Amino acid sequence: MSDPESVCYICHIDGPMEEHHLVPRAYGGRKGKTKPLCRTCHFHLTKASRLKEITLINLRSINPLWSNSETATRATELANIIQKSRKLTESDRNKAMLIQQRLAPADARKLRSLSRVFHCSLIKAIEISIDRTYRSIKRKIPPDLH
């Protein structure tokens, strides 16, 4: 029998799992309960949670694997939790905010090449480049100004 932590909560596929916070970290769920999800379900669940209305038809259009009622029920349950969390924290100034920035095509190409060099995601490449830039600038600042 498989370890329950290596089976996706939604589709029951066995394999490598990602940790899904029932209440997303951005909405205060940093230390809350989690469910194991396969990468595909985790990605599609995030998309589903952004729908204005979560219905079986909407879920099937996002991920055809959620076509049976059992998987659709579990996906709906998790997507509804995310939506409720978002609504409850909309006006909370203390919650983490998502910052979106459009990039010029040339900058986007540079980031993609950085992610290939670092063998990581675009977000991680941005974090690495910011960290390296900060460290190089910090070396040039006199210690008494840190």
What is the pLDDT, as a whole number, of residue 82?
Answer: 86
Contacts of 37 (CB under 8 A, 6+ apart): 8, 9, 10, 17, 18, 19, 20, 45
Strand pairing partners for 37?
18
What is the pLDDT, as a whole number, of residue 100?
Answer: 60
Whether the pLDDT of residue 30 is over 70: the answer is: yes
The full set of domain ranges for the chain reads: 4-89, 105-145
Whether the pLDDT of residue 9 is over 90: the answer is: yes
Which of 7-21, 40-54, 98-112 is predicted with the least confidence, judged by mean pLDDT? 98-112
Tell me the pLDDT tens digit for each residue of 45-102: 888 888 777 777 777 788 877 878 888 888 888 888 888 888 887 777 666 555 566 7
Task: Give the pTM.
Answer: 0.56
